[in-house]
Amino acid sequence: MWLYILFLTAGIAVGLYNSAPAWLEKYSGVFQLWGLIIILFAMGVAIGSDKDVINSFMRIGVHSVVFALAAITGSVAAVRVFRPAIQRQRERAS
């Protein structure tokens, strides 16, 4: 957990002090997208390889699966909605 907080804090510091290389700023959205895709894939592998989770899907119920899919869909939709606004704000700031 501390490792995540450390990297998040380091990223914020780099962003605040404009010390990120130009290529990193240019491709940060691509890195974020692919990072999210890799995380979702890894979660899918972990869920799919756990037989207890697979066997308990029926017990968990359709509502839980729908809730999880809605959370994923909402997260992806939020990224698509807010990404252009954030990019416009960055362009204005530069």
Domain boundaries, the chain: 22-93
Question: Residue 14 — very low, low, confident or very high, per pLDDT cuts 50/70/90?
Answer: confident
Contacts of residue 28, Cβ cutoff 8 Å, sequence gap at least 6: 20
Task: State the residue for tokens 């308990």.
Answer: 56
Q: Do residues 87 and 29 lie in contact, with contact meaning Cβ atoms separated by under 8 Å?
A: yes
Mean pLDDT of 47-58: 84
How far is Cα 43 from Cα 55, in angstroms, rounded to an integer?
A: 17
Q: Output the pLDDT for position 37.
A: 96
Q: Output the pLDDT for position 24.
A: 82
What's the whole-number average pLDDT of the chain? 88
The closest of 11, 73, 7 to 40, measured between CA atoms, is 73
